[in-house]
Structure formats: structure tokens, C-alpha cells
Structure 1
Amino acid sequence: MRSEHHGVATAVPRLRDRPIREGERWIYSAGFNVDRSLSSTARIDTELGDIGRIMDSGGRVAILSHQGSHRDGTAVDLDFVAEYLSDRLDRTVAYVPENDTSAAEARARALRPGTAAVFGNTREHHGEQRNDPTLARRFAALGDFVAVGGFSKAHRAHASNVGILQHRPGYLADSVLTELELLAPWAGRADRYSVAVLGGVKPEKTVIGLDAMTGTYDVVIPGGAVLNSVLRALGHDIGSSELGESPDRCLRLATTVLGRHDRAEVHIPSEVVMARIGENGFHDARTVAISDGIPSGWAIVDFVPMPWMRERLGTLAARGGRALVAGTPCRFSDGFRTSATAVLDAFGAPAVQALLLGGDTVAELPWQGPVSTGGGSALHYLAHGTVPVLDALTPTNRELAL
């Protein structure tokens, strides 16, 4: 069931409505996914209120989260997360390296009322991202109730946030509800002028974002791997440009979008900035016509906005409207900033209601306005009005699972 706010589920059990009793054993499914340098802590900070409330009420909290991926061997210990939580919550949060063993269960049961521990990285297990039911059952042994946070992974049907709900009653954390309420103005069709920028390297920016935004926004500006997929679909040689994961799937989607009649004007530049790929970054940058092709060993790092794109951005800035950025449109951190500067200048106008999606985008771009910590989750929600976590928490689906 959905409310008038484009899918903010009023029927989903909410943590804010559930009294916490002293001694209750809670699993908090978080979505911290921050590196050891803690260069950006937004995905932790947004969960502090929910975790703190359970602890303040005498609950015992076993925190499950992730960083990196089992698939590429980047999953790491989360001891630094426990240290950060201890500092911010002003109480000791322990670290338990395991999360699916009898020893981990014993440590969870031994927690005193009002205390918490971060357990091992869920993505140390191959079964986490496959939503393995056996792993989900082992995670469930850490508590009796589940608080589902981690909006950044709400679009992922993983063992620690969806599979676990087949074994324990779950409640949606305020951190997720806040994100859903934030996204409402950017959802669906609107009478206001709308511009969407889709960049970065993750496939959902193409498969979900390009597919949905071209039907609901007036202008869509592809950048990054999204633009490279579009150019590839048009038959251009893009050399060694970044295509991200699932390049063939993104190519098929880009081809489909280009072949249909949508609401949006899709910006396709005639000139791009290419640079030679070297051991220490990009070199010999130059502006070229995309029709001339990009040679092997070179990559597209930015693009030159077409005159009509600058005109549309001017219209947006002057008249107002809504705008979003899902993924950086260029290699901004490497010094290639033409397209991003044009976009951010327009999106920063007082009359524009603009939003940046995703941790990487927020960390990379100089933006002081509204942000969402979940890029893929936000796109999934804007496109479909729901995410797998909401579906798993709805009463009908919960009854079927249990």
C-alpha cells in the first residue's frame, strides 16, 4: 500500500511506532558502506538516531553492515565503523569479526541491555549478495527483531536486509523513511520543468535511470558510462572509455531508449574531451568530434554541452523547476569539469529544486543542497515507487514468507 507521496508505504511496520522493551534483542540492518578513511560518513550518521533510540530504550543491538564486495575481494573488516559509532554515540560499541557462527550468536546473546556491537562484514560471504536463505537464517540468529535501515542498499535483495525478514519480524527505520519522504518531489511526472543528469559507472544509472527518467523528465543529460553506452548504441567508436559492469545489458537498454518516443530530450554531444589512459591517470586531453571516433588507449573524460543544452539549463535556472544528478557526468576528480560546472551552476539557481543522489556523487561534487545517500535505491524508487525492502516488509508479503 502506498501513500500519496509516490510509494511511501504507510502500511509497512515502522520502527518509530514500535515501543522498545528493555532487554529485547535487535538486529540493525545498516548500509554504512564507507571506506576506512571515512572520507564521507553520511551513510553512518543517518543511522545514529535509530540505533541510539534502541540502545536508550534498553535494547541489545547486533549491527549488520557491509563495505566493498565479495565478488571483487574488496570486503574488509568493519572495526573502524565500531570505533566511529562509539565516538558518535558516546558509548562503547564492540566489534565482533564473525556474523554467521555459533560464536557470533553467543556474542549477540551476551550483549547487555543498552549496548551494541558491529558484527563482521556481510559481504565476506558470497551468499549475501545472492540472498542465500541459509545465510539469512544464520544472520537471523543474532536477534529477535530486525530494524531495517541502510537506504543505500534498499534496492538490493540481499540476505541481511531482505532474506532475514523471512525469519524475524521487521520494522523500517526512520533513516529510510526520511529518504523516501525526501525523494517525493522528484518522483513521477510533474508540471514543473524537469532536468535529470545520469552519470557515474554503475549499470543502474542506465538500466533504471535512463529507462525511467526519459519518460518522466523534460531533459535527460547522460554522462560517464551512461553517455558511453548511448554513444556506443549510436555506432560511435568510444575507444577505451569506461562502460562499467554489464556493458552489453546497458547497450541493449540504451538502444531501446534511443529507438522510442519519450517525453525527454536526450542530450547527445557532438564534441567530447578525450584523454590518454596512463599509469598515473589521464594525459594529453583534447576536445574532439565524437564522429571522428575515440582510439584505443584513450577514454572520454568529459563532454562539451551542445548550445541547446545550455539554453535548456538557462531556462531551468530562470524559470525554476526540479533537477537531479545521479552520478558524476565527467571525470570531475581528475580535473575534467566542463559538463559538471554547467550543470551545477544552473542547478544552484534559487528557483531550482535540485537533488544529488548517491554517496560517490555527493562526495565528489561541490554541492551544498539536498542529497540522498542512496543512488541506486533512489533511482529504483523514483522509477518504480518501491524498493525490494519495502516489498519484503509489506504485510501480504510478510505473511507469505512466514
Structure 2
Amino acid sequence: MLSALSAPAMAGLPLLRERPVRAGERWVFSAGFNVGPALADTTRIDCEVPDLLRLTQAGARVAVLAHQGSHRDGTARSLEYVARHLGRALGRQVGYHPESTGDGAVERARALRDGEVVLFGNTRHHAGEEAGDPELARQFALLGDLVAVGGFSKAHRAHASNTGILHHRPGWAADSLLAETAALAPWAGRAPGTRSVAVLGGVKPEKTLIGLRRLAETYDVVVPGGVVLTTLLRVLGHEVGRSELGSSPGKCAEAASRVLAGSHAEIHLPERVVVRGPGGEARTVDLADGVPADHAIVDFELPARTQETLRQLREHGGRALLAGTPSRWTDGFGTAARPLLDAFAAPGVRALLLGGDTVAELPWGGPVSGGGGSALQYLADGTCAVFDALRSQHSPGRTATP
């Protein structure tokens, strides 16, 4: 049983589990299979398997839409390897059609047989996907008559394939969305009497714009890493050299300034950071001396007060959240990450790692959520763009039109 079904945030949400499925119905399943070819972590695929089985076993004809990478930086790949994995997980052949729009895609969708599943081409091959282009959403809608919305990892995005398509076809929330929100409940809001520690890292702007803003209000301690750290340091006037500042440095700097001006949490900033030069050499420097202009921060030493916080966490328990790798772990830099993970793994600590990259990179055997930005958005506001779109579609006076 999914405990999130009784949560106020789920009120009014149309649920796929409550909608009878009939043989021959044409469904579009909007998923979030943002997993690389190595398939290092397949959680984002596997979580949709129960609902896909329910649809196919009832005789539905299922056209799956999914994304991987981004059109903006040219990292969007063919999803044929995803189709193979999905077929193994479902125990049946899953077809692959390389296009998700156009006459060929529409004809392939119309040719689906009862109980058949076909994965269509990467939605992020289209520039309009991430922009929520209405015309692209209309073309996606031609692949079916009904929409099942999964893909919690992109639930915070108003994209053509998950919110835009709902302007053209009626939609229902898949169980994967509900399972994710249920799993996030222990880390939502304040927890009086419980020690709370949040670590924010990675390079995506939502770690600052959403995570830092909200977790600084609901957690006792925030340990910034990655772009969150370099943004805070820069706002405070430190020289950060060529350190990564992400894709929205201006907006992130504004958000960081507001948090620094006053927040519930203690923001633990390091005194010493590990930097790497243009030749790949690494060394540790004092922040008071500044980061050399041709160097970038890749790791940091935990300050004494963070080490004391982790000691108390290990001894007395509490809750902990890690969203985004705090250092360049895959390049061998684990000075900050190792003691954080060790403390989070201690008995009595309820810890969660957020985000596909974070989960794939770090050695962690505890609870995880594949939805990094979506999880942060849900923890911050109790809802996401997809939930709002589904709820709005089924409100009085609002219907999806073919």
C-alpha cells in the first residue's frame, strides 16, 4: 500500500490504478528513462514495470515515450539499449522505433497489437521537448488516445511529453509517481527533536534554486558542495578561479544571497578546498588565500563543526539527505564525500540519496530516489509540475481535447 495516497499533496490526482484498462486501448506511457548505455542504475526503468505489465496484461497497446540526455548539449542518444533492458524486465519483446514524431511513428503506433509495447525515439532529440513546445506535444499525442504519466525524475519539468501532452489526451498518474512521494515523506518539512543534515552538490541549478532555498528552512545543517558551494563562496567574495558555476549563475547567486541573509539552518562552509590546475595537478589551499585563477575547486575538507555534527549524528541518530555529489567523486576526489557517507550509513541515521547521477556515482546501499530535481521540488513545495497538470486536467471545466 502506498502511504502517499492519503497525503494532501495527492488529493485530486487521477490514478492509473483506479482506471479500468480494456483490451485494444491505445496508451502513451510517458516515462523518464534517463539512464546511460552502461545501465549502471536501472531504477528509473524498473519502477515503471508494474504499471506497464498491468496495461499489457489487460491487452492495452502501449507506446512509450522517454528521454535521455539533452538536446541542448547534444547528449541525447538512441534508446534502443533501453528497449532491450525493458524487454528483459517485462519478460516480453519490446519493440523500438527510432522516431517519436512524424508519419512513420504514427503508423507504427496505430499498428500496435493488443498487449504490445514499443519504445519510441528519445523525446530530447527534439528541441521543443524541454521547452514544452505545444506543437511537439500535439504530435506526441498522436501516438495514443490515453496517457499514463510516470517518470518522476522529470516530474518537476513542464515538458512536451509529460505536461504538454495532457492538453491533448486525458492522463493518469502511474504508481511510480506515488511510490516516490511516499518514500520521500520522512525527509519532508521540519522534524522537531530530530537532528537533520542536508548535503547539496552536483552541477544542476535546482540544487541551489530549490534545494538550498527550501532545505535551509527545514534542516538544521546544510553542507554545500559542487556548484552550490562555489556559488556561495563567490557571493561571499571569495576567489573561485575556474570553478564550475552551473548553467544559471546569476539566478543561483541571487538565491544564495537570500539564504545567506537569513535561514533556519547553519550553512557549513569549508576553510580549505582541493583545487585542480590546468595540467590536472591537485592541491589543497586555504580559502582565505583564494583559488588560483587557472584552478577549479574539485573537493573540500569538512570543517571542524561539520565533523562534530557528523559525530553527533552517528552517536545520537537523526535524518540526512544528500542531493548531488559534493565533490568530483568519479575523478577520485572523495575527501568530503567519504566521511559524509560513513556517517549517513551509521545505525540510527535515516539517510536518503537523491538523483540518478548521485546514486550511480556514490557507493551507497541505503534508500535512494532517482528523481533529483523532482524530489527536491516535491520536498520544497509538496507538488511538481506533472501533479499540477494532472490535477488541473481533471478539474471542473477543463478537459483534454484531441
1:240-319 → structure 2 map (5 Å cutoff): 240-260=242-262, 262-278=263-279, 282-283=280-281, 285-319=282-316
With over 3 angstroms needed to count, the CA separation of the structure-2 counterparts of 1:4 and 1:309, relative to structure 1, is: farther
Is the CA contact (8 Å cut-off) linking 1:317 and 1:351 kept in structure 2? yes
Q: Give the fraction of aligned pairs with identical amino acids, expressed as a percent.
A: 58
SS of the counterpart of 1:113? coil
Matched residue type, 2:238 = H
Q: Which moved more, 1:330-339 or 1:199-208?
A: 330-339
Aligned to 1:203: 205
3-state DSSP class of the match of 1:338? coil
Residues in 2 aligned to 1:8 and 1:313: alpha-carbon distance in whole angstroms: 32
Instruction: Please state how far the C-alpha of 1:4 moved relative to its aligned partner.
Output: 8.9
Structure 1 position 115, deviation (Å): 0.5
Aligned to 2:170: 169
Once the two structures are TM-superposed, the CA of residue 255 in structure 1 deviates from its matched residue by: 1.4
2:358 matches 1:356: no
Alpha-carbon distance in structure 2 between the residues aligned to 1:289 and 1:218: 26
In the aligned structure 1, how far is the partner of 2:376 from the partner of 2:278?
Answer: 31
Q: Which residue of 2 aligns with 1:221?
A: 223
Q: Distance in 2 between matches of 1:210 and 1:135?
A: 33
C-alpha distance in 2 between matches for 1:335 and 1:139: 42
Q: Corresponding residue for 2:71?
A: 70
Residue of structure 1 in register with 2:45 after alignment:
44
Larger CA deviation: 78-87 vs 212-221 = 78-87
Q: Secondary structure at the match of 2:63?
A: strand
**Larger deviation, residues 341-350 vs 150-159:** 341-350
**Following TM superposition, where does structure 1 have runs of at least 4 consecutive aligned residues deviating by more than 3 angstroms?**
2-8, 395-402
Gaps of 5+ in 1: none
After TM superposition, the structure 1 = structure 2 runs for residues 82-121 of structure 1, keeping only pairs within 5 Å, are 82-121=83-122
User: 1:400 Cα shift?
Assistant: 3.3
Structure 1 residue 209 displacement after superposition = 0.5
8 A contact 2:4–2:182 mirrored in 1: no
Contact 2:4 2:181 in 1 (8 A): no
When structure 1 is superposed on structure 2, of 221-230 and 100-109 the one drifting more is 100-109
- Indicate the residue corresponding to 1:236 in structure 2: 238
| SS of match in other structure, 2:75 | coil
Aligned-pair CA distance for 1:35: 1.5
The one-letter code of the counterpart of 1:231 is: L
Q: Which amino acid aligns with 1:53?
A: R
Q: CA deviation at 1:395?
A: 4.7
Structure 2 gaps, min length 5: none
Structure 2 distance, partners of 1:143, 1:312, is: 53
RMSD: 1.6
Q: Does the aligned pair in 1 maintain the 2:4–2:179 contact within 8 Å?
A: no
> Do the aligned residues in 2 keep the contact of 1:6 with 1:184 (CA within 8 Å)?
no
State which drifts further: 80-89 or 302-311: 80-89
Provide Cα deviations, 1:120-157, integer angstroms capped at 9, x if missing partner: 11111111111111111111111111000000000000
The aligned length equals: 396
Q: Which amino acid letter does the alignment assign opposite residue 254 of structure 1?
A: A
Distance in 2 of aligned mates of 1:82 and 1:330: 33
State the alpha-carbon separation in 2 of the partners of residues 246 and 153 from structure 1. Answer: 19
> C-alpha separation between the residues in 2 aligned to 1:216 and 1:390?
23
What is the SS of the residue equivalent to 2:277?
strand
What's the CA shift for 1:187?
A: 0.6
Q: Offset at 1:247?
A: 1.3
Q: How does the TM-score come out when normalised to structure 1?
A: 0.95
Distance 2:351 2:6 in 1: 18
Task: Indicate the SS of the match to 1:16.
Answer: helix
CA distance in 2, matches of 1:30, 1:373: 13
SS of alignment partner, residue 381 of structure 1: helix
CA contact (8 A) 1:8 1:177 kept: no
Q: Is the Cα–Cα contact under 8 Å of residues 14 and 394 in structure 2 kept in the other structure?
A: no
- Among 365, 384, 389, the alignment partner of 2:386 is 389
Distance 1:3 1:182, change over 3 A: closer
Q: Which moved more, 1:31-40 or 1:6-15?
A: 6-15
How many angstroms apart in 1 are the aligned matches of 2:78 and 2:283?
Answer: 42
**Structure 1 residue 3, shift from structure 2 partner:** 7.0
Is it true that 1:378 corresponds to 2:375 in the alignment? yes
Q: Secondary structure of 1:235's match?
A: coil
Matches for 1:141-180 after TM superposition, within 5 Å:
141-180=142-181
Residues 65 and 120, structure 2, Cα contact 8 Å, conserved in 1: yes
Letter in 1 for 2:293: S
Q: What is the CA deviation profile of residues 203-261 of structure 1, one whole-angstrom value per residue up to 9, with x for unaligned ones?
A: 0001100011101100000001100000000000000111121112111111121112x
CA deviation string 1:321-377 (max 9, x = no partner): 111000011111111111111111111111111000001001111110000000000
Q: Specify whether residues 64 and 396 from structure 1 end up closer, same or farther in structure 2 by C-alpha distance, changes over 3 A only.
A: closer
The CA distance in 2 between the partners of 1:297 and 1:182, in whole Å, is 43
Task: Note if contact 2:317-2:348 (Cα within 8 Å) is conserved in structure 1.
Answer: yes
Q: Any idea what SS the aligned residue of 1:22 has?
A: coil
